A and B are shown apart, each in its own frame.
Chain A
Amino acid sequence: EADIYQTPRYLVIGTGKKITLECSQTMGHDKMYWYQQDPGMELHLIHYSYGVNSTEKGDLSSESTVSRIRTEHFPLTLESARPSHTSQYLCASSNRDRALGGYTFGSGTRLTVV
């Protein structure tokens, strides 16, 4: 079944650690996105990619980085986690022909930095 997967689902980690949040999709979508969402707040775009070797920063400034070496894989990395990075991170993908840009979201990673 085609889908979009995020791991881990929950992560609690100490300050200063390097972390990578995984996102993979099996739908062959060109476009992938990372959003950040704090509880009760709106989603903010932090990174996006239109294809392999294409990555751009989104509207919300983030210390994280992303890579897109394969179409299906769009990992997000924090080199040195801080408590201010505590949030939910949602990965999404879309096909240029799908619902004029509607997204499919992964289940999210809830990150807590202590």
Chain B
Amino acid sequence: QKEVEQNSGPLSVPEGAIASLNCTYSDRGSQSFFWYRQYSGKSPELIMFIYSNGDKEDGRFTAQLNKASQYVSLLIRDSQPSDSATYLCAVKRYSGGGADGLTFGKGTHLIIQP
């Protein structure tokens, strides 16, 4: 089982609808959770982070975390064509010993249809 799993897609959503992106992780000791957006040929860009159970909203984006289910999601409301990109879920695994680098999922390719 991969440490961070995402459906690779593509996920196709009509413009103006809600896009729902999901991510599961295997390490129960994971502390922080991040969503990055990566346009083709570009580097990842941080759009949301969450570390407490529940919802966190920022503009059109809402991150949801359920540590009991080891599940993180990202909702994008009023989807725009400019939201078309690959969305990477990343998990900070632990803070003591070894690398505290982020572990990334493979990403979900999102297509917003005009």
Interface residues of A (CB under 8 A from B): 31, 33, 35, 40-43, 45, 48, 56, 58-59, 90, 99-108
Compute how far the CA of A31 lies from the CA of B107 in the bound complex, rounded to whole angstroms: 24
Q: Which chain A residue shows the least CB distance to B104?
A: A43
User: Are B99's CB and A56's CB within 8 A?
Assistant: yes
User: Are A100's CB and B46's CB within 8 A?
Assistant: no
Indicate whether B34 reaches chain A with its CB closer than 8 angstroms: yes
Give the residues from 92 to 114 in chain B that come closer than 8 angstroms, CB to CB, to chain A. 92, 99-107
User: With a CB–CB cut-off of 8 A, which chain B residues contact A108?
Assistant: 42-43
Q: Which chain B residue shows the least CB distance to A104?
A: B46
Interface residues of B (CB under 8 A from A): 4, 31-32, 34, 42-46, 49, 51, 88, 92, 99-107
User: Are B43's CB and A106's CB within 8 A?
Assistant: yes
7 tightest Cβ-Cβ pairs between the two chains A and B: A105-B43, A100-B32, A43-B104, A42-B106, A45-B101, A101-B92, A42-B104
User: Are B99's CB and A99's CB within 8 A?
Assistant: no
User: Are A101's CB and B100's CB within 8 A?
Assistant: yes
Please give 18 more A-B residue pairs, beta carbons under 8 A apart, in addition to A42-B104, A107-B42: A31-B100, A33-B101, A41-B106, A43-B88, A45-B99, A45-B103, A48-B101, A58-B101, A59-B99, A100-B31, A101-B31, A101-B32, A102-B32, A103-B46, A103-B102, A104-B46, A106-B43, A107-B43
Compute how far the CA of A100 lies from the CA of B101 in the bound complex, rounded to whole angstroms: 11
User: With a CB–CB cut-off of 8 A, which chain A residues contact B103?
Assistant: 45, 59
Q: List 26 A-B contacts (CB under 8 A).
A: A31-B100, A35-B104, A42-B88, A42-B105, A43-B104, A45-B101, A48-B99, A48-B101, A56-B99, A58-B101, A59-B101, A59-B103, A90-B43, A99-B34, A99-B49, A100-B32, A100-B51, A101-B92, A101-B100, A101-B102, A102-B32, A102-B34, A102-B49, A105-B45, A106-B43, A107-B42
